[in-house]
Structure 1
Amino acid sequence: MYKGTIRLCYRKVIDVHSVKPWDKLVFEDTYNELLLQSQYYNQEKKYTSFSDLITHVPAAEKLHFLVSAAVIGYLQQLQGKVPDLLNSLGRLFLPFNNYRFEIINSDLLHKAKHQVAINFFSDHLEWLDTINNQLLLSIPGNLENGEQLTELFTIPPFVSVYSIKPTANHGAA
């Protein structure tokens, strides 16, 4: 039944249309941080779009990293659980151990064009089985009375298997 160890990646896109309070705060703070940090790379104010700025000032690629500082406090609020992804019981369950922030698009004059993504990478999970579009997973160390607990999870859009280490009898994936 055990198929291997996997890590999942969830890409959370946040833009002006995001409605959840957490998302709105991330949207506002990353836009404000971008305005602040981009001044160094755009001192003559020649560029207004993020794409023009990184095209003409290659060092501006650092803005992804610099603006990511604005989300650290919000990520701590998640208490190590990937947002939005619920198990079959409607509970947040997926632990993450790493993330990658990126600015997808933005405009220094038009906040409505600001769009960012946070890619959440799960801890290692035991992949037990696939049932239709659901994964049966076990989170190592998640025990109750000596039994390994499981999670049943429907795979939504923007989730992918990031890495896999198959069991010896399944060969390479």
Structure 2
Amino acid sequence: MVKNDSPSRVSLKSITPDVSTAMGGLHRAAVSAAQVAKVEDEILELVRIRASQINGCAFCLDMHTKDARAKGEQEQRIHVLNAWRETPFFTERERAALALTEAVTLVHDGRVPDDVYAQAAAVFDEAQVAALIWAATVINAYNRIAIATRMVPGAYQPAQK
């Protein structure tokens, strides 16, 4: 548990602005690739939430559950996302994306198994699989940044449309 009296951590954006800008560029490029490939926004938010659950990133969970709700995601699906295999609430495409996300996030647990990749390739085309791998990679990087610098959740508000 992070205490309020914890020592402050480095501000990566202030200390290394070029790297921070590059990370933002990677994020924008990954979002663009997903849009071009026509990967559903709902799936991308599920990917971001699920990776953040696995990594224990409170800041990113706060952000992406708010973004998902703002885009119309159902509370029930958000609440059971960490047990998605046990529910009937997710489509075949969502299940394939979640399995791929888990494999990418937990790559140290046996890499990305062929059956997980094949499941994704069966319901997504190559551009979509690539976009999902980039989405999972970017959120995992952001999770590590937020955790290492102890970014505080709570203040984020989704953009108004």
User: Shorter-chain-normalised TM-score: which range?
Assistant: under 0.3
More helix as a share of residues = 2
Per the normalisation by structure 2, the TM-score is 0.26
For the pair shown, which has the larger CA radius of gyration, 1 or 2? 1
Per the normalisation by structure 1, the TM-score is 0.24
